[in-house]
């Protein structure tokens, strides 16, 4: 709706939008600034907005050779391992979800199987699963079968977050594809498998890329599963919390860690804003 | 492949299996059967993985009925003792209160702020169109990062928030380091993070409203506010409520933001059920009692959700 507004009203609205944008972005800007400061500069009052930026904090996070030696003392951090862990677990979780979830989404969209709607609803229910209630028994199970603190175990348990999402998203994307195309191909004698592989999948590709971005993001966000079910394979969100030492608070180093965890999602927004929006509000708005 | 026909056949077979099908149908159903095997094979891996989690859920409920502790070889079934012990303590009711207070105040505030934000960005002014992607920003950040980001900003000694408050003449605020203000601070973080969720959904609802409806209201002499209250608001109410359902579930289960900022403290002020369950199970190593707390949390989620969904259904019916 493009109504004709008087100039003052439109200026006021623009200002309000600007204020909201500031509220939404300021914390991030401040954290980025903090990550570029020295420890003494962070502790000053009033806080400084103009300073000489340094990459010292990022060096502390990733420089294994110096083992976290800073100009203001030594803190033991190893941030490269958790970042790698998070990448491996999240990418693995996305891959497994795609392999197991997209066929399921296709079946739920196109085929008639008994109790189809019940199965679909059962899967949606996992969006509301109480993670901790699943993890408490899982802890003892993982200890017994030796899956505790392994990539394999972590990737499997991340499916509780990523798999239902990819099934629902791929189902809704497949339903957007006109059915006639498939029927025409089947009429020409193509086998069902070939129809899916050569006709449905290429049409589905943009949607699947978007959905993969979203579930990668969900896997990247996860904290509770990694906190309880891993130690050396802990994801980056768990490592972040350890940066907040009790007593001595190296805020700038932690800010640098925060920046690292936030870069990934911000890049993903730029890559696929439209898809993320559809995924994040999924279930509420189709 | 006529799938519609298949459906009829399936019902026919299940409801009247004793009737011998004609030869034609037999051939069709055989063909369909082969195809069904493909479908089942395609859906099986996903179902097996998810059934594993369902089993774990029930196993967790079972554990809540035992005296399981870490490292104890003998586990006894003790019925509802874990629950009985819990409800006799003040801490438990404190946690229930904290959980509800956190979720209800956060969802209510987010609904209002989200509505305002959506209306603002739906106005279509220049900056609104330009800045729309920014709404997504808080939603894509890891909740743990959000929690720690605000922890640094809410530092009572040299945090930026206290500096901004001092600019408008307000003295030092304790934020998450004081029992009386901790809950308020946490809700504030939740509001910053999840108001965009409401905004996105309400925005979609606003765009679904026909321009003709608005035009009709305007022609009939309705002023801006009246149009909003009597025309728009009832039409987007179902959107607000469904967003509230999603958010209520997530905020009753909220763990990351609270664990990342206060870990339930100071004192007991923000010890919601999920955080207390974690501490009971993994710091005190009493798995049975931790599981019992999570079952209670889950029941609260279930009751709250069912109530809201009922409300949503009745509102949607009234609208259409």
Let me know whether A136 and A251 are in one domain.
yes
Tell me the percentage of chain A whose pLDDT exceeds 90.
Answer: 27
Residue pair A134/B64 in contact by the 8 Å Cβ criterion: no
Kindly indicate the confidence band of residue B16, based on its pLDDT and cuts at 50, 70 and 90: very low
Residue pairs between chains A and B whose CB atoms are closer than 8 Å: 263
pLDDT given at position A73: 59
Contact with chain A for residue B252, Cβ under 8 A:
no
The ipTM of this complex is 0.88
Average pLDDT over residues B59-87: 84
Verify whether the Cβ–Cβ distance A111 to B36 is below 8 Å.
yes
pLDDT given at position B227: 78
Contact with chain B for residue A112, Cβ under 8 A:
yes
Tokens found for residue B186: 């946490």
B-contacting residues of A 183-242, CB under 8 Å?
A: 183, 186, 192-193, 217, 220-221, 223-224, 228, 237, 240-241
- What CA–CA distance (Å, rounded) separates B299 from B297? 5
pLDDT per position as a tens digit, A184-216 = 887 887 777 788 888 888 888 888 888 898 899
pLDDT per position as a tens digit, A106-154 = 988 888 777 788 888 888 778 777 788 888 888 888 888 888 989 999 9
Within a domain: A28: yes
Tokens found for residue A43: 């502790």
Q: Is the pLDDT of residue A54 over 90?
A: no
Let me know whether A163 and A89 are in one domain.
yes
- What CA–CA distance (Å, rounded) separates A203 from A185? 14
pLDDT given at position A71: 57
Buried b (16+ CB within 10 A) or exposed e, A178-202: eeeebeebeeeebebeebbeebbee
- What CA–CA distance (Å, rounded) separates A146 from A164? 26
The dihedral built from the CA positions of residue A3, B197, A105 and A154, taken in this order, carries a sign that is: positive
Within a domain: A137: yes
Tokens found for residue B307: 């109530």
Q: Is the pLDDT of residue A4 over 60?
A: no
Closest by Cα among B249, B251, B244, B253 to B312: B244
Which CB contacts under 8 angstroms, 24+ apart, belong to B42-47? B42/A103, B42/A104, B42/A106, B42/A107, B43/A103, B43/A104, B43/A107, B43/A108, B43/A113, B43/A119, B45/A99, B45/A100, B45/A103, B45/A104, B46/A100, B46/A101, B46/A103, B46/A104, B46/A123, B46/A163, B46/A167, B47/A104, B47/A119
How far, CA to CA in Å, does B169 sit from each of A193, B155, B162, B163, B172? 70, 18, 10, 10, 10
Nearest to B144 among A130, A136, A240 (CB): A240
In this prediction the pTM is 0.86
Within a domain: A73: no
pLDDT given at position A76: 67
pLDDT per position as a tens digit, B167-176 = 888 878 888 8
Give the residue numbers spanning the domain of A50: 8-61
Closest CA–CA distance from residue A167 to any residue of chain B (Å): 9
Q: Which positions in chain B touch A137 (Cβ < 8 Å)? A: 56, 59-60, 63, 287, 291
pLDDT given at position B113: 95
Let me know whether A27 and A129 are in one domain.
no
Residue pair B254/B272 in contact by the 8 Å Cβ criterion: yes
Verify whether the Cβ–Cβ distance B56 to A114 is below 8 Å.
no
Helix boundaries (H) for chain A: 7-35, 39-43, 56-62, 80-110, 116-124, 131-145, 151-176, 179-187, 192-195, 201-221, 224-229, 236-243, 251-280
**Residue listed under structure tokens 């060096």:** A59
Closest CA–CA distance from residue A274 to any residue of chain B (Å): 9
What is the DSSP track for chain B? Answer: --HHHHHHHHHHHHHSTTSPPPHHHHHHHHHHHHHHHHHHHHHHHHHHHHHHHHHHHHHHHHHTTB---TT-S---B-TTHHHHHHHTSHHHHHHHHHHHHHHHHHHHHHHHHHHHHHHHHHT--HHHHHHGGGGGHHHHS-HHHHHHHHHHHT-TTT-HHHHHHHHTT-----GGGSHHHHHHHHHHHHHHHHHHHHHHHHHHHHHHS-HHHHHHHHHTT--HHHHIIIIIHHHHHHHHHHHHHHHHHHHHS--HHHHHHTTT-STTTT--HHHHHHIIIIIS--HHHHHHHHHHHHHHHHHHHHHHHHHHHHHHHHH-
Angle at A91 between CA A88 and CA A95, to 5 degrees: 130
- What CA–CA distance (Å, rounded) separates A223 from A229? 10
Name the β-bridge partners of A74.
Answer: A69
Let me know whether A103 and A142 are in one domain.
yes
Tokens found for residue A140: 């003892």
Let me know whether A225 and A162 are in one domain.
yes
Please give the radius of gyration of chain B, using alpha carbons only, rounded to the nearest integer. 26
Verify whether the Cβ–Cβ distance A131 to B134 is below 8 Å.
no
Q: Which positions in chain B touch A163 (Cβ < 8 Å)? A: 46, 49-50
Closest CA–CA distance from residue A205 to any residue of chain B (Å): 19
Let me know whether A135 and A165 are in one domain.
yes
Verify whether the Cβ–Cβ distance A240 to B148 is below 8 Å.
yes
Number of domains in chain A: 2
The dihedral built from the CA positions of residue B140, B143, B148 and B149, taken in this order, carries a sign that is: positive
Verify whether the Cβ–Cβ distance B46 to A277 is below 8 Å.
no
Within a domain: A68: no
Within a domain: A75: no
Name the β-bridge partners of A70.
Answer: A73
Average pLDDT over residues B67-95: 84
Let me know whether A196 and A269 are in one domain.
yes
Verify whether the Cβ–Cβ distance A47 to B133 is below 8 Å.
no
Closest CA–CA distance from residue A77 to any residue of chain B (Å): 17
Kindly indicate the confidence band of residue B5, based on its pLDDT and cuts at 50, 70 and 90: very low
What CATH number is associated with residue A121?
1.10.3720.10
Closest CA–CA distance from residue B27 to any residue of chain A (Å): 18
Let me know whether A56 and A137 are in one domain.
no
- Going by the DSSP 8-state scheme, the letter that residue A74 receives in this structure is E
Average pLDDT over residues B204-218: 81
Name the more confident of A50 and B293.
B293
For residue B79, what are the contacts with CB-CB under 8 A and spacing of at least 6?
B65
Let me know whether A95 and A175 are in one domain.
yes
A-contacting residues of B 88-147, CB under 8 Å?
A: 117, 120-128, 131, 133-145
Within a domain: A69: no
- Going by the DSSP 8-state scheme, the letter that residue A199 receives in this structure is I
Contact with chain A for residue B36, Cβ under 8 A:
yes
Question: Would you say how long chain A is, in residues?
Answer: 286
Average pLDDT over residues A41-54: 80
Let me know whether A91 and A31 are in one domain.
no
Let me know whether A180 and A270 are in one domain.
yes
pLDDT given at position A245: 60
Let me know whether A198 and A114 are in one domain.
yes
Residue pair B202/B239 in contact by the 8 Å Cβ criterion: yes
Average pLDDT over residues B31-39: 64
Within a domain: A37: yes
Angle at B143 between CA A239 and CA B177, to 5 degrees: 80
Torsion of CA B286, B288, B290, B291, to 10 degrees: 160
Within a domain: A89: yes
- CA nearest to A260 within chain B: B145
- What CA–CA distance (Å, rounded) separates A140 from A160? 18
């Amino acid at each position: 709706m493009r109504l004709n507004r008087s100039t003052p009203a439109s200026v006021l609205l623009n200002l309000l939008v600007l204020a909201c944008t500031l509220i939404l972005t300021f914390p991030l800007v401040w954290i980025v600034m903090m990550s570029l400061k020295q420890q003494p500069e962070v502790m000053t009052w009033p806080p400084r907005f103009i300073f000489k930026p340094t990459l010292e904090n990022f060096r502390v996070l990733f420089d294994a050779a110096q083992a976290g030696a800073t100009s203001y003392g030594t803190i033991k951090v190893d941030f490269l391992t958790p970042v790698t862990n998070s990448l491996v677990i999240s990418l693995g979780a996305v891959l497994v979800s795609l392999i197991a979830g997209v066929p399921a989404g296709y079946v739920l969209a196109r085929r008639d199987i008994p109790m189809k709607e019940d199965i679909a609803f059962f899967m949606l229910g996992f969006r509301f699963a109480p993670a901790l209630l699943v993890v408490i028994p899982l802890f003892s199970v993982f200890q017994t079968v030796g899956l505790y603190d392994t990539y394999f175990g972590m990737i499997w348990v991340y499916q509780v977050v990523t798999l239902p999402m990819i099934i629902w998203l791929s189902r809704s994307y497949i339903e957007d594809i006109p059915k006639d195309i498939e029927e025409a191909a089947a009429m020409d004698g193509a086998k069902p498998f070939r129809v899916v592989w050569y006709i449905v999948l290429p049409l589905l590709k943009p949607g699947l890329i978007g959905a993969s971005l979203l579930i990668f993001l969900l896997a990247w966000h996860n904290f509770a599963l990694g906190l309880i079910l891993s130690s050396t394979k802990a994801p980056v969100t768990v490592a972040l919390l350890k940066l907040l030492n009790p007593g001595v608070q190296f805020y700038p180093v932690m800010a640098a860690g925060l920046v690292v965890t936030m870069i990934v999602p911000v890049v993903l927004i730029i890559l696929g804003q439209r898809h993320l929006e559809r995924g994040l509000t999924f279930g509420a708005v189709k | 492949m006529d799938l519609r026909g298949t459906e009829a056949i399936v019902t026919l077979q299940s409801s009247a299996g004793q009737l011998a099908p004609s030869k034609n149908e037999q051939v069709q159903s055989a063909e369909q059967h082969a195809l069904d095997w493909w479908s089942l094979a395609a859906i099986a891996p996903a179902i097996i993985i998810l059934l594993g989690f369902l089993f774990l859920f029930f196993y967790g409920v079972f554990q809540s009925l035992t005296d399981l502790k870490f490292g104890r070889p003998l586990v006894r079934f003790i019925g509802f003792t874990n629950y009985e012990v819990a409800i006799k303590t003040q801490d438990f009711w404190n946690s229930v209160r904290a959980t509800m207070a956190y979720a209800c105040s956060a969802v209510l505030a987010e609904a209002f702020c989200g509505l305002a934000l959506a209306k603002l960005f739906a106005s279509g002014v220049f900056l609104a169109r330009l800045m729309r992607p920014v709404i997504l920003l808080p939603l894509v950040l890891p909740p743990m990062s959000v929690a720690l980001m605000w922890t640094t900003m809410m530092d009572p000694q040299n945090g930026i928030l206290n500096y901004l408050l001092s600019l408008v003449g307000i003295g030092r605020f304790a934020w998450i380091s004081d029992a009386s203000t901790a809950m308020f601070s946490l809700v504030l973080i939740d509001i910053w993070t999840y108001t965009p969720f409401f905004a996105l959904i309400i925005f979609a609802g606003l765009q679904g409203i026909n321009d003709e409806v608005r035009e009709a209201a305007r022609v009939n002499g309705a002023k801006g506010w009246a149009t909003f209250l009597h025309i728009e608001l009832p039409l987007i109410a179902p959107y607000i409520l469904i967003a509230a359902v999603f958010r209520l579930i997530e905020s009753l289960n909220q763990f990351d933001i609270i664990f990342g900022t206060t870990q339930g403290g100071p004192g007991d002020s923000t010890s919601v059920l999920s955080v207390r369950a974690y501490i009971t199970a993994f710091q005190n190593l009493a798995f049975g009692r931790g599981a019992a707390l999570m079952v209670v949390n889950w029941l609260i989620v279930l009751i709250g959700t069912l109530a809201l969904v009922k409300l949503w259904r009745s509102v949607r019916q009234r609208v259409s």
